[in-house]
Amino acid sequence: MTLLSTISKWGNGQGIRLPKTLLELLKWENNDKLEIIVENENIRIKKIDSSKKRKNIKELFANYKKEYQTQEIDWGETEDKEIW
């Protein structure tokens, strides 16, 4: 599919209007989050998968196995204005 569009003034910036037919084809809706990638003077626009939301700390450590053992490291004497 090839479509033409124009860069137009939009508030204090510029914008490109995406036709309704394109949005319907892509199943994009108002307020969808998009990632814009610039490559060799071209842009690529991808919809960000909302199911891949940032995980909270509990989700990040849900499968954590407590096998890690901490150890104290001797970093030597303090230098200049370091405080330990």
- Burial of 21 per CB tally in 10 Å (0-12, 13-18, 19+): exposed
- Is 36 part of any domain? yes
Domains contained in the chain, number: 1
Q: In this structure, are residues 48 and 33 in contact, taking their beta carbons and an 8 Å threshold?
A: yes
Copy the structure tokens of residue 14.
């510029």
Is the pTM value of this prediction over 0.75? no
* pLDDT of residue 67 exceeding 90: no
pLDDT in tens, 11-40: 999 999 999 999 999 999 998 989 999 999
- Is 39 part of any domain? yes
Residue 18: count of CB within 10 angstroms of its CB: 13
Q: In this structure, are residues 22 and 3 in contact, taking their beta carbons and an 8 Å threshold?
A: yes
What would the mean pLDDT of 39-55 be, rounded to a whole number? 85
What would the mean pLDDT of 65-71 be, rounded to a whole number? 81
Q: Residue 11's domain is classified under what CATH number?
A: 2.10.260.10
Distance, CA of 36 to CA of 23 (rounded, Å): 16
Model pLDDT, residue 84: 66
- Is 69 part of any domain? no
- Is 77 part of any domain? no
